[in-house]
Structure 1
């Protein structure tokens, strides 16, 4: 099959939307698309012989229909569909993402078993925290509303104190593929002492901090503009938390790119607080890039 985009499918509206988004990404990257469904004990594939055949094959039919629809929407796109089993859904999807040919994993923001009003389900959070490859969570939108409109900006979250070359480069490449504007976003807050006893810093000091933070953002992007001269860049250093700044700037975005540090913690890998908040509140698909 060669290199491909991997998309999890469970029959929910969110996963179907995510599969369509994954197909668009595969076309942009000139890759194939692999759809996978992880069987669970609730899956109709485990129904007994007493259950009518047309019910027992619902999963296969769902995969086939989605595969056929995406092939029709994207002529020439190679699309493969597989049933996976052998363990908990998160473990199976993370294992599938270890395939050297898998370049991007795409999931719906909330699965078929999710609670109403829950933006990101436990599977999405669990996989994103452990996936060895960039992973996108895509939210279903209203009828006729595309989750990633053509020409929409790529929003990049930048940690100016410890900027990641992997994350920054990924966002620049994403913007270059799309021919889109790159909006580099950094949120900053005043020193905690400013809030002590209700003290408000003079405007001059606030402006001084604003200039320092804006310069740190420019320094983090130094060299990348020259490496990707075709990408127009707007720097946005905002007085807000990192998560709030990204959520604010995501309202017209095609995708939001954030990083996840690869750390070996006692309780296992996890998303940082900014990534976690952005996954729950961003108005666009969120692409999480693991990095050292």
Structure 2
């Protein structure tokens, strides 16, 4: 991987959602032992500042970027934080930042600090076009939301992490997508739940959504075999990661949304070529991806792949 991408970047616009996303990004940077970069677009640029050495010049009002940098430096004192602003409009600035980062993090609601954009449109457009993974974090996301409920007096910040869920199309497996999910699970020392969904074309005389029993059993058995073979080398690469495989009949949006209710992170793919894969298709986001981004109860990572 290009060393220039070894950073986690988060978009800051002053909204509550972007601040919640920034806190999630700080935790992710700590888990992956990476620096955190804060980026505010659409305002006059200032020189990049490393935090906690934030020194706002006399007479200058603290910006949302300044406030976020100071708050994060107190909450994560060991984290290397760099804050930067740019006059470049939100979408092109964030797309450029994504290309230079290992992960770009955005709030999936309320990202409205840039004139002319509807609620959430910046995050959606960037996640549909970015060259590297984009994680969308809902407003109100708290550190304890990504962990199991503590028992036996265990402090909330030491409880085990909830599993990572990966939506995978075994007909178009991608190393970038699978590798991101395994890395995410390994950095949390948690399990990885890999879910593949499949359907059959409707046949005349059959009820909608109900495949022929013989055809269904044969096809499903084949899907299980391919999924197991696809994940086998990754199991060897990540021997300490507990991997759960699941093949279900139906559409991905429904089953992945259901799986996300017990997850700390949902990982889906976006193909950058033509065709359809995972929860997205072509160079944009498919209907399933849109549904998951809007309704998943955990952060959603959109990983581009060929």
Give ranges in structure 2 of 5+ residues lacking alignment. 45-58, 148-159, 276-281
- Residue number in structure 2 paired with 1:109: 108
Q: 1:30 aligns with which of 28, 33, 53?
A: 33
- Residue number in structure 1 paired with 2:146: 148
- Residue number in structure 2 paired with 1:186: 196
For this pair of structures, how many residues does the alignment match? 267
Q: 2-side partners of 1:110 and 1:217: how far apart? A: 34
- Residue number in structure 2 paired with 1:52: none
Q: CA deviation at 1:199?
A: 9.5
Structure-2 change in CA distance of 1:106 and 1:204 (3 Å):
same
Q: CA deviation at 1:226?
A: 1.2
Q: CA deviation at 1:37?
A: 1.0
Q: 1:61 aligns with which of 43, 60, 63?
A: 63
**TM-score scaled by structure 1?**
0.81
Q: Decide whether the 8 Å contact of 2:98 with 2:133 is kept in 1.
A: no
The 5-angstrom pairing of residues 251-266 of structure 1 reads: 251-263=261-273
Give ranges in structure 1 of 5+ residues lacking alignment. 42-55
Q: CA deviation at 1:204?
A: 5.0
- Residue number in structure 2 paired with 1:235: 245
1:94 equivalent in alignment to 2:95: yes
**TM-score scaled by structure 2?**
0.78
The 5-angstrom pairing of residues 1-292 of structure 1 reads: 3-39=6-42, 60-86=62-88, 88-99=89-100, 102-113=101-112, 121-141=120-140, 146-149=144-147, 150-193=160-203, 196=206, 201=211, 203-263=213-273, 269-292=283-306
Q: CA deviation at 1:245?
A: 1.5
Q: Decide whether the 8 Å contact of 2:167 with 2:256 is kept in 1.
A: yes
Instruction: Spell out, residue by residue over 1:55-107, the C-alpha distance to the aligned partner (whole angstroms, 9 max, x if none).
Output: x966x432222112211111211112111113x311111122233xx211000
What SS is found at the alignment partner of 2:203?
A: helix
Greater than 6 Å deviation, 4+ residue runs: none
